[in-house]
Amino acid sequence: MERFLRIDRRIIFAIITVAVIVSLILRFELPIPASDPVQGVYGKIESLPAGSHVMIAFDYDPASKEELQPMAISFLHHCFSRDLKVIGMTHYPGAPGLAEQAMTMVANQYGKKQGEDYVFLGYKPGSASLIINMGENLYSAFPKDFYGNDTMTLPVLQGIDSLREIKFLFDLAAGTTIETWIAFGKEKYKFELGAGCTAVIRLINVVLPAP
């Protein structure tokens, strides 16, 4: 053991450098299989016909960005590639900037237009009461979108009155909003729910079918 402690640090750095260079040149690649829960969310989006409405709840803030923003971007890519209508919202006051950034960036890659192909409703307080309000009348809960547009005039929301018309809702949660969506949203208004959360809570990415 003492022999290893006496090794010149330059030798250690040289070994690390060689290992990094070799790995970059040879490009070691390991398969990353999708788990059953992730495959369930993917399969649900694949099953929806073009023009279906999905909602994504950006229920996280910058502290959880590194874990949840990539999930949001991947989900948006999948939705826009399937020509789905995307509705975004959040219960977190620190989330609007992240949500707008993700939606705008991905939408632009697919030539999608704000107000026609997707809408970001923004942040509203209330948690459970907000979900109930959305379940009864989406326009009462969000009379204006994030940009100040009258939601009742937006083409993307045609055919949507409440959460009952949403074909799938995906919650990205840094806290306990998943439980709130289940108790006050899914159980009451019978929509299908998927969710992903931070590792400290435990990634679930499951699909809960409507009864």
Q: Say how far apart CA 169 and CA 140 lie, in whole Å.
A: 19
Q: Give pLDDT, residue 178.
A: 92
Task: Identify whether 101 is part of a domain.
Answer: yes
Q: DSSP string covering 103-131, please?
A: HHHHHHHTT--BTTTEEEEEE-S-THHHH
Residues in the chain: 211
Q: Say how far apart CA 68 and CA 148 lie, in whole Å.
A: 26
Q: Give pLDDT, residue 4.
A: 66
Task: Identify whether 14 is part of a domain.
Answer: no
Residue 181 main-chain phi, psi, to 5 deg: -60, -40
Q: Give pLDDT, residue 203.
A: 46
Residue 147's closest CA among 119, 109, 105, 117? 119
**40 vs 119, more confident:** 119
140-175 pLDDT, tens digit each: 999 999 999 999 999 999 999 999 999 999 999 998
Range of the domain at 76: 35-208
Instruction: Write down the pTM of the prediction.
Output: 0.82
Q: Give pLDDT, residue 202.
A: 53
Residue pair 39/46 in contact by the 8 Å Cβ criterion: no
**What total of structural domains would you count in the chain?**
1
- Taking residues 74-98, report their average pLDDT: 97
Task: Identify whether 18 is part of a domain.
Answer: no
Residue pair 196/68 in contact by the 8 Å Cβ criterion: yes
